[in-house]
Chains A and B, each alone.
Chain A
């Protein structure tokens, strides 16, 4: 389990602003659109940010702005990521911070499964689904760390929040476990942890990232299908993928503005 480029994730005080050229540019643009500025600053829940602009202002305001990329073409469905996540975060049985789905696309329809979240990978599928396959792939899923997160909006006590670096996190000292966030998440990324009796979900391994490490799932992926990086770092892989503009997001109609991007996502994936 070795981390990739650990130095890239050196964390410094997020309050220290990074006055780069992009910030100056954005500042000018924002200054010219007073109404939009008001919306952006005061109405995080109300302002609609299109999927094409997930980094619109935070890039200018914080030192790091993290993003996650899943390359569907590379995923082999081994389940390493699911196992690593379970171990790293003590995720209880029958619940998942990340899971992998298998899609078998046939003329008659789509076969999808994720046996125990693909904790043990996948077994060969029944013969009736194996014949006349048009396409097949495995797709990892997790919290999308949305820029416009409905879970944050609905939390009645503000226990779940969005950090300036892009993490959607839960304050365990405040969560009531009412379950409203579980209902509001369109991706079913959240659950009530039956052991802790609090809301739970993927944190992009915040505890690791803050120590300059990568999320556990990223470190164990043998295919490098999972990529985590800093959009503020012009050399990072996520920045290059983002710039290439070939990514997609899940459920764009939900207007959640995810910062988990997919490469090679087939239209059958929901």
Chain B
């Protein structure tokens, strides 16, 4: 270890208050879940705004998934806070010089936008369900509330709903970009942490968000289709994988660019970053994030996109690439959040990070929070049609 130390340090020296990693797993999964929201939403908007027909089968699913993730994006932050009961202060007394201060507003408004768009899309379904129950019982009341009391639906209603959905999906794209680019800015603007402080950070966070959201969406689609024994939509899969490939190449290019700058510039911070990459982050970052978990998907998605891969091979390769990408982005979040704090501000030593299994910042808590959106998605799917059997749709003549 000693030969890797910066600033002529003969021993690993960390400032006494640096012995504890203040931002741990909860702050790793917070940008991760936020990213899944933004990524899934982009897929949905591709259909609703840009009319990419291939994404129609997963457009509603993407929106509901984005909403399910969105409900829990703020939870890790809340768990992390030392005074969670004061969380509302970020709304009531935002300190506008802080990059974090308007997160509450950006996040909440985005969630409202998602809810509104879902409501617009499913209004017809709610009205239908209300009529099925005849307005009786608890479910009748719930459907009535979800209709907001409007139980009539005309062709003109469908038309205006479609227009408004398109509008919401349209403004949702820059909003999603803002939400996640903003998360990157929260990290990128901290000058005291060499590994964070780069203007590329918002773009890296945003592009990786889109990648992770698309990848998780395909994994969910693939699992549900396999579980239900439905027929895979190869056409959609192929199109999604090509889009994902391009998105990941942009993301990876920026991550490589960031690293290249550090390496080539040999600037002020290189003396502390080099030992970090050679030492504590070698496995997570060099081999994991930048190596295996990136080169693998670039290669596999390249094969899927450029060659005539069909049938089961297409599904297997796509699942493999998506699984790797979901982990690539998770590891990337870890490498940024925890990695940055491993360099002691003494500039002469590195902090040891210890994984926790249980407790507030434990892996178990993280797994529970990460699985909550899937539970919500499942519950929503019990009541409204989110992803439907493509075979059945064809048979009944729906398009």
Contacts and interface: CB of A to CB of B under 8 A. Distances in A.
B101 A157 contact: yes
A8 B297 CA distance: 69
B109 interface: no
Given A112-B13, A186-B192, A254-B192, A158 B345 contact: no
A153 B186 CA distance: 12
A117 B16 contact: yes
Interface string B178-222: 000000001000111100000000000000000000000000000
Contact of A179 (B23, B101, B348): B23
Contacts of B344: 188
Interface string B1-44: 00000011111010111111011000000000000000000000
Contacts of B100: 154, 156, 178, 180
Nearest to B341: A183
Contact of A150 (B22, B80, B89, B191): B191
Contacts of B192: 150, 183-186, 254
B83 A177 contact: yes
B82 A191 contact: no
Contacts of A253: 268
Given A157-B89, A191-B20, A175 B10 contact: no
Nearest to A108: B10
Contacts of B8: 108-110, 268
Contact of A182 (B22, B89, B94, B101): B22
A106 interface: yes
A2 B7 CA distance: 40
Contacts of A94: 16, 19-20
A51 to B, nearest CB: 16
Interface in A238-254: 253-254
A176 interface: yes
Interface string A139-166: 0010000000010111111110000000
B310 interface: no
Contact of B83 (A183, A197, A268): A197
B191 A154 contact: no
A111 B2 CA distance: 11
Contact of A176 (B17, B87, B191, B345): B87
A157 B93 contact: yes
Contacts of A106: 10
A54 interface: no
Contacts of A18: none
Contacts of A185: 192, 345
A176 B7 contact: no
Nearest to B18: A188
A188 B346 contact: yes
In the complex, the 7 A-B pairs of residues with the closest C-beta atoms, listed nearest first? A177-B82, A158-B95, A197-B82, A188-B15, A109-B8, A186-B192, A156-B100
Interface of A: 44-45, 94-96, 99, 101, 106, 108-114, 116-117, 129, 141, 150, 152-159, 174-180, 182-192, 197-198, 253-254, 268, 270
Interface of B: 7-11, 13, 15-20, 22-23, 77, 80-83, 86-87, 89-90, 93-95, 97-101, 103, 186, 190-193, 268, 341, 344-348
